[in-house]
Structure 1
Amino acid sequence: MSIQWLRVRVPSASFRNGLGILPGPFFVFGRTPCILSPVNRTRERRSGPLWLLAACLLLPLTACVQTPKSLFNGHDLEGWSKVGGDATFDVDDDCIVGIHGPGPNTFLRTDDVYSDFDLSLEFRWDEPGNSGIQFRSRQRPDDGIVEGYQCELDPSERSWTCGLYHEGSRGWLVPLEDLPESQAARRLDGWNRIRIRAEGPRIRTWLNGVPCVDLLDSDGERSGFVALQVHSGGQGRMRWRNIQLTELMD
């Protein structure tokens, strides 16, 4: 059974949750596929206005499509602010570069805050040094300390990169000491790709495609800024690029 309306047929079919584009002349909005019928050339002139009306009516449906946005424009630090210590952040060769300095941990944070999202980025060490990616984080109003989830970037022998730490209060939530495959996924020389998915109380991370963390944390923050951390101390130089975030809709 199908429903005819202005040359748009909507079959009574069911699909998995989520969005996608099927092969052929399908345009998927939410769970329902819409099939556009071929144009009849002999009636094209008469039906033209109706096609235009149909297209206009369908446009608002595209608002539900989840599309990634770049958090870094590749040229400057617009949309970001430095908080914490005295490490420096700059832009070089389409990358954000963080250089360790004196004082406490330093963070380059997004001006915007996010709740449920899927975040991916690439990073590498120019010089080894501890670092991390904050998310769902905030600055405490009383002392300015950054508090929230941190995806660890660890160049040491223990190799806990992509483990889950809670900056500012709770400490380690998911170290990788019992996950040798995750530990082995880290590359000291060359680029690494991290993916972080925060959805309600569930936090998941991947390092170069290898699963690392899958945690249900009912006590954790549900929203906050994203930040690049440079750890306290005088050694290390980090580089990040291709920072893409997709906000997850209900």
Structure 2
Amino acid sequence: MIRHSALIVSLTMMMLLFGAFVLAPPGNSPETSGREWISLFDGESLNGWVQKNGTATYEVVDGVIRGTTAEGSPNSFLCTFNEFGDFELYFEVFLHDNELNSGVQIRSQTREPEGDEAYGRVNGPQVEIESSSTGSPESGYIYGEGGIGGWLISDDERKHHKTFRDGEWNQYRVVAEGPRIQVWINGEKISDLWDEEVYMTHPRGFIGLQVHGISENEGPYSVSWRNIRIKPL
């Protein structure tokens, strides 16, 4: 009787342990689960980011990242230290000045530095940020920054639209899976790109916040980002 009871207890414990193993939630590691959102901006500092190219300024103001132009500067980029391949990216952006063109780099790289450069030129796919008041508003389309092909969305598919709301925070969602990149603005789908050639050269890379270059005697213009998070797929 004692042996029988011990056997029952032993079997019960094994079943409980097995059930705990099966029902336990996946680990928090995005590399293994692919289900966890990672915040890229802590709301207080630029930890995890580094500026590459240009002399625009990036600072944290009232819990958001604000980028401001510098006269005569080429394009500037605030880039994540970490690199990402397949992912879902979410961020919110506010254009303080409609004259400013901006964007967010995905899967991007830098070329080898030349001369006394600290960083080589940033290159890779860029998700466009642009005021709807311009003559040809193209927010949400994908541009090949750094000489990788200009607009990656064909002219026929790149329709002018006013989904981007001037003077307001705008929500962007970007899904990159293999050679396919999709972009939504404020819940409306804007881009659906399939480009195997770009994917071959840029399968993964950093995320970069662009402040577009301006000429002398222009600006200053500013753009802000907040709620920047990413979910590896």
Interval containing the TM-score (normalised by the shorter chain): 0.7 to 0.9
Cross-structure match for 2:151: 172
Structure 1 length as normaliser, TM-score? 0.74
Q: 2:206 aligns with which of 204, 225, 249?
A: 225
Aligned with residue 70 of structure 2, among 80, 101, 107: 101
Which protein is richer in strand relative to its size? 1
CA deviations 1:10-46 (Å, max 9, x no partner) are xxxxxxxxxxxxxxxxxxxxxxxxxxxxxxxxx99x9
Q: Aligned to 1:54, which of 19, 41, 44?
A: 19
Deviation at 1:130?
A: 0.7
- Give the Cα–Cα distance (whole angstroms) in 1 for the partners of residues 188 and 22 of structure 2: 43
Where 1:232 maps in the other structure, the secondary structure is coil
Measure, in 1, the Cα distance between the counterparts of 2:156 and 2:165: 17
Query: What's the CA shift string for 1:165-217, capped at 9, x where partnerless?
Result: 0001111112677565x712110011100111110000111111111111110
Structure 2: gaps (5+ residues): 1-7, 115-119
Structure 1 residues 201, 184: closer, same or farther in 2, change over 3 A?
Answer: same
Whole-angstrom CA distance in 1 between matches of 2:88 and 2:57: 27
Give the match for residue 68 of structure 1: 37
Q: Secondary structure at the match of 2:161?
A: helix
Kindly state the Cα deviation for residue 68 of structure 1 after the two structures are TM-superposed: 0.9
- Structure 1 pair 75–55 and aligned structure 2 pair: CA distance change class (3 A): same
Greater relative contact order structure (CA < 8 Å, 6+ sep): 2
Root mean square deviation, CA, Å: 2.4
Counterpart of 2:206 in structure 1: which amino acid?
Answer: F
**Residues 1:197 and 2:167 aligned together:** no
Structure 2 matches for 1:126-137, cutoff 5 A?
Answer: 126-128=96-98, 129-137=100-108
Q: Tell whether the 8 Å contact from 1:82 to 1:107 is kept in structure 2 after alignment.
A: yes
Given the two structures, how large is their TM-score scaled by the length of structure 2? 0.80
* Cα distance in 1 for residues equivalent to 2:68 and 2:156: 28
For the Cα contact (< 8 Å) 2:78–2:208, is it kept in 1?
A: yes
Q: List gaps (5 residues or longer) in structure 1.
A: 1-42
Q: Does the aligned pair in 1 maintain the 2:102–2:128 contact within 8 Å?
A: yes
How high is the sequence identity, in percent, across the aligned residues? 35
Q: Deviations over 1:126-150 (max 9, x none)?
A: 2221110001101101441110000
Does the aligned pair in 2 maintain the 1:164–1:173 contact within 8 Å? Answer: yes
Q: How big is the shift at 1:118? A: 0.5
1:48-86 deviation per Cα after TM superposition (whole angstroms, max 9, x unaligned): 785356325654744535111100000000000001011
Offset at 1:93?
A: 1.5
- The secondary structure found in structure 2 opposite 1:174 is coil
- CA change 1:176–1:75 in 2 (3 A) is farther
Q: 1:215 — aligned with what? A: 193
Does the Cα contact within 8 Å between 1:160 and 1:176 map onto a contact in 2?
no
Would the aligned equivalents of 2:141 and 2:158 in 1 still touch at CA under 8 Å? no
